[in-house]
Amino acid sequence: GENVEQHPSTLSVQEGDSAVIKCTYSDSASNYFPWYKQELGKGPQLIIDIRSNVGEKKDQRIAVTLNKTAKHFSLHITETQPEDSAVYFCAAGQVIYNTDKLIFGTGTRLQVFP
């Protein structure tokens, strides 16, 4: 089955700096790679996703890159703000019609200091 590894487990940055979180996956059949932000006591919120037919996707300060050959994908947050502090999870899965069995990475606790 799919196995997703995520690094680093914790990340501290100064406000305004960039943050990068990296994930690797094992199943070459996976074709959907979302990123979630989870705040304390809440469910995960989708912040960006990428599919295997695309190498890069950007949404304002957030971008995701995918290298299918190396089986890794990364989340880039630029101009970080204190409200970006949260736990971020990557996930990988195979989309067949509308079903998704996502396997999650171990999470990265991001702290943005003012």
Partner 1 sequence: GAVVSQHPSWVICKSGTSVKIECRSLDFQATTMFWYRQFPKQSLMLMATSNEGSKATYEQGVEKDKFLINHASLTLSTLTVTSAHPEDSSFYICSASGLAGVTGELFFGEGSRLTVL
Shortest Cβ 45–partner 1 spacing (Å): 7
Shortest Cβ 38–partner 1 spacing (Å): 9
- Containing 54, the helix (H) or strand (E) segment is none
Burial of residue 111, with CB atoms counted within 10 A of its CB: 0-12 exposed, 13-18 middle, 19 or more buried? middle
Shortest Cβ 84–partner 1 spacing (Å): 19
Q: Which is nearer to partner 1, 62 or 104 (CB)?
A: 104
Residue matched to tokens 């509308």? 98
Contacts of residue 84, Cβ cutoff 8 Å, sequence gap at least 6: 19, 77, 110, 112
Give which of 45, 77, 46 is closest to 62, Cα–Cα.
Answer: 77
Shortest Cβ 42–partner 1 spacing (Å): 6
Q: Which is nearer to partner 1, 75 or 107 (CB)?
A: 107
Residues that bind partner 1 (CB under 8 A): 32, 34, 36, 41-46, 49, 51, 89, 93, 95, 97-107
Q: Which is nearer to partner 1, 65 or 94 (CB)?
A: 94
Q: Which is nearer to partner 1, 31 or 114 (CB)?
A: 31
- Spatial distance between the Cα atoms of 40 and 19, rounded to a whole number of angstroms: 20
